Amino acid sequence: MCPEQAASEIVTLHVVPLSHPCMTVRAALEHKVLEYEEISFNPGWEHAEKIEEIYGEGRHTVPGIVIDGQPVHGSVSILEHLEKTVPENPLYPEAIAAEVSAAERWGDEVFQELARSLPDRSRLAHGRGSPTGVISQAPDDPG
């Protein structure tokens, strides 16, 4: 733990490797100079049940953090929560807060979808048949 980190800010971060939203949260924790324990799952929804147990029904994706015993799920909610509870080293500096929020929304709504579709697009471009969606499809997602 960092010397200046309050004892109450004990953070566990749940991730899968190479996930953009997980990298976002990791960068935010590091920007806030918060020490954290990282628990990494293999991609492919094996962790869905465990994540739902921690974060609640219907919440089976990562990233999630448990901070001071409180589960917070999803990259945007996590960043907003960190900003509220740890104001030092702002993630949304006042002068550019609107731009940062707009970029964050773009990352969440547009960029993440594009990144997820790249393996399928690549398979199609190389004539390897129809997309399977094996990695990017949630268990209860009709696809």
Ligand X SMILES: N[C@@H](CCC(=O)N[C@@H](CS)C(=O)NCC(=O)O)C(=O)O
- List contacts with ligand X (CB under 6 A): 16, 19, 21, 43-45, 61-63, 74-75, 108, 112, 135
Of 102 and 135, the one with the shorter C-beta distance to ligand X is: 135
Of 10 and 23, the one with the shorter C-beta distance to ligand X is: 23
The single-letter code of the amino acid at 14 is: H
Of 93 and 106, the one with the shorter C-beta distance to ligand X is: 106
CA pair distance 94, 114, nearest whole angstrom: 29
CA pair distance 125, 142, nearest whole angstrom: 24
Residue 25 beta carbon to ligand X: minimum distance, rounded to whole angstroms: 8
Of 108 and 120, the one with the shorter C-beta distance to ligand X is: 108
CA pair distance 29, 48, nearest whole angstrom: 23
Let me know the angle formed at the C-alpha of 35 by 21 and 115, rounded to the nearest 5 degrees: 10
Residue 32 beta carbon to ligand X: minimum distance, rounded to whole angstroms: 18
Residue 105 beta carbon to ligand X: minimum distance, rounded to whole angstroms: 11
Phi-psi region of 84 (alpha: psi -120 to 50; beta: other; left: phi over 0): alpha
Residue 16 beta carbon to ligand X: minimum distance, rounded to whole angstroms: 5
